[in-house]
A = this chain, B = another copy of it.
Amino acid sequence: MTQTLMPDVNRAGCPSRVILEHVTSRWGVLVLAALLERSYRFSELRRHVDGVSEKMLAQTLQALERDGFVLRDAQPVIPPRVDYSLTPLGEEAANLVAGLARWVEHKVPDVQAARAAYDGTKV
**Residue A36 at the chain B interface, CB threshold 8 Å:** no
Give the total of A residues in contact with B, Cβ under 8 Å. Answer: 53
Q: Which residues of B contact A117 (CB under 8 A)?
A: 68
Decide yes or no: A68 and B12 within 8 Å by CB, A103-B93, A104-B23 being known contacts. no
Q: Which residues of B contact A34 (CB under 8 A)?
A: 10
Decide yes or no: A30 and B50 within 8 Å by CB, A66-B119, A104-B19 being known contacts. no
**Residue A26 at the chain B interface, CB threshold 8 Å:** yes
**Residue A51 at the chain B interface, CB threshold 8 Å:** yes
Cβ contacts A101-123/B at 8 Å (1 or 0 each): 10111111111111101110000
**Residue A83 at the chain B interface, CB threshold 8 Å:** no
Contact check, A96 vs B103: say whether CB atoms are below 8 A apart.
Answer: yes
Partner-B contacts on A (CB < 8 A):
4, 7-13, 15-16, 19-21, 23-26, 29-30, 33-34, 48-51, 65-68, 89, 92-93, 96-97, 99-101, 103-115, 117-119
